[in-house]
Structure 1
Amino acid sequence: MTTARPSSRPSCPPRPSGPAGPTRPGRPVRGLAAALACGTLLVTAAACSNGDDGAAGGSDVAAAPVAGRTTAPAPLPLTNARARMALITAADLEDDWTQVKTAGNWHDRLLVGKVDVARFVTARTQAAACQQLLDGLYENDMLGKPSGGSALTGFQQDEARLFYQVAAYDKADLDKSLAWLKSLPTECDQFNAVGAQNATRSVQVVAASLPKVGDARQGITVTVKGSSGGSPVTLTLDVAVVRVGDDAITVVNGGTDGVDHDSTDDAVSHGVTRLKDVLAGRTPAPQPSLFD
């Protein structure tokens, strides 16, 4: 004799039996509600009847968002070789710039001078910041000594020069340098410097906008008025610094015929693209994209 196994299905209220009679008001609603409740229980029981399948289904759903996550690889350290790869070329600049190998030896004597401290309200702080600006421009050393790999190049067009450097720095020092550059249009908006044979140069510093690329950026335009060979001369320079992680791009562009701000923007925009490619392990494109 076979013993019937108890059913695991939830029991539902038995259907009413007996002769059909007049339906009482409200009863069909209660009957329908009971039927719906029973149907819900049956569906629930069916879903939970197989514990293994249910667990597998829950695992698949939970794993989907995790599988979709991607972790960006850490950027490569900037070595000298990678810094050279990240340098812009003449193709990254419009007009007729010619790449040269002598940029590290560029020094403009109009930038040599001792800041006239007497012209400042808070002499020591302001004068030191302005002296650092002149010395940095003359020595091609706006951000101090790199902490890692570095490379530089230069371009010439008529009387204009464009100095370009890629280098790794200590991030805290780099942030301090950017804050210093940001302060210069206020601290050094107008000042005088005394050069050889007591020749006085007037210097003006104003803020300059840059393309919104990189992690942080700062731009200024410096105008130095003095004399050369007994004739008045004006030197105008764009200075642009863009931070990408712990690395930075430095651009100094201009000359005695003025400055082409578009070339500064091109150097910054295309330079950041090239540097990001190198840090990601990619080879920069030989020509800049039209959509950069």
Structure 2
Amino acid sequence: MSRRPSRPVRVVASALAAGALLTTAACSDDGAGSGSRASEASASPLARQQPTYSPSPTLTEAGAQAALITEADIEDDWTQVKDTTAENWHDSLLIGTVDVSDFLTAKADAADCQRLLDSLFDDDLLGRPSGASALRGFEEGDSRLLYQVASYDRTDPQDSLDWMASLPQKCDRFTANDNGEQRTVQVVETSLPDVGDAREGLLVTVQGTVDDTPATLTLNVAAVRVGADAITVTAGGLDGDEDDSVKEALENGTQRLEDVRAGKTPAASPS
């Protein structure tokens, strides 16, 4: 993908040190045995070192970081990049003003198509998170995969999923212009694994030029809601779509998020 200086992006959630939590409950006739066992347990070095997460449905910064996928979750030859690199990924082919003349009978749809382009460029497909968030990026050749976990506890991610579901009809095919350069954009619905509480997938292609050479940007875009939290994945590039990798990321990543929400530590690698 071609690059351009980034717009402001969300601050990447940093991993927080997770403390140990150990509770014991026991009863004895005189009460002395109970107190002794509790004291020994709380003093255990293993108990202090074992990371755990609150079972509360409110996602924490540490939980969002723990829910991110790893290279093992998407196989192939993906290589993880630094978070500071991934947060600055923006493709110039996504910059442009939607041509309203393409929407003669439904001009309001042009605003939705503009929102799609802008949100893909800014990496906020579901809107800005209202709670904790974290992201991780991977590279494979000229393709990139950006994976994000975020909490929308004060907004409704389902509204954004419903908006995504409407785009293949509203934005089936349209043009966008950037400084006299015209680009053709097509939006198609894709199928996703049956994970989470709700999900939507899109295949977005943008035909334009890069360094005066015709080029086609192909992006697989997907989002999965788990309660008030959500996963978003954007993958692809000038080499074509990354449908299989996106599905693997969602299958393994949703399980990681569900584990974190249940107060469990996600497995080191997929089973």
- TM-score bracket for the superposition, by shorter chain length: 0.7 to 0.9
Whether the 8 Å contact between 2:55 and 2:260 is mirrored in structure 1 is no
Query: Does 2:76 align with 1:76?
Result: no
Please list the CA deviations of residues 48-69 of structure 1 after superposition, one character each: whole Å capped at 9, or x if unmatched: xxxxxxxxxxxxxxxxxxxxxx
Matches within 5 A, 1:227-242: 227-242=209-224
Whether the 8 Å contact between 2:173 and 2:184 is mirrored in structure 1 is yes
Query: Does 2:232 align with 1:250?
Result: yes
Distance 1:268 1:94 in 2: 13
Partner of 2:259: 277
Distance 1:230 1:158 in 2: 22
User: Shift of the alpha carbon at 1:133?
Assistant: 0.3
Whether the 8 Å contact between 1:76 and 1:281 is mirrored in structure 2 is no
Q: 1:76 to 1:174 in 2, by over 3 A?
A: closer
TM-score under structure 2 normalisation? 0.77
* Number of equivalences: 216
Aligned partner letter, 2:66: M
Q: Which runs of 5+ in 2 are unaligned?
A: 1-53
Whether the 8 Å contact between 1:117 and 1:123 is mirrored in structure 2 is no
Aligned partner letter, 1:155: F
Partner of 2:138: 155
Root-mean-square deviation over aligned CA pairs: 1.3
Larger radius of gyration: 1
Partner of 2:70: 89
**SS of the residue aligned with 2:259?**
helix
Higher relative contact order (CA 8 A, sep 6+): 2
Aligned partner letter, 2:93: L
User: Shift of the alpha carbon at 1:170?
Assistant: 3.9
Whether the 8 Å contact between 1:156 and 1:162 is mirrored in structure 2 is yes
Bigger proportion of residues as helix: 1
Q: 1:171 to 1:177 in 2, by over 3 A?
A: farther
Choose from 87, 105, 109 the match for 1:126.
109
Q: Percent identity?
A: 57
TM-score under structure 1 normalisation? 0.72
User: Shift of the alpha carbon at 1:172?
Assistant: 5.3
Q: Which runs of 5+ in 1 are unaligned?
A: 1-72
Distance 2:173 2:237 in 1: 19
Please list the CA deviations of residues 195-230 of structure 1 after superposition, one character each: whole Å capped at 9, or x if unmatched: 12x100000000000000000000000000000111
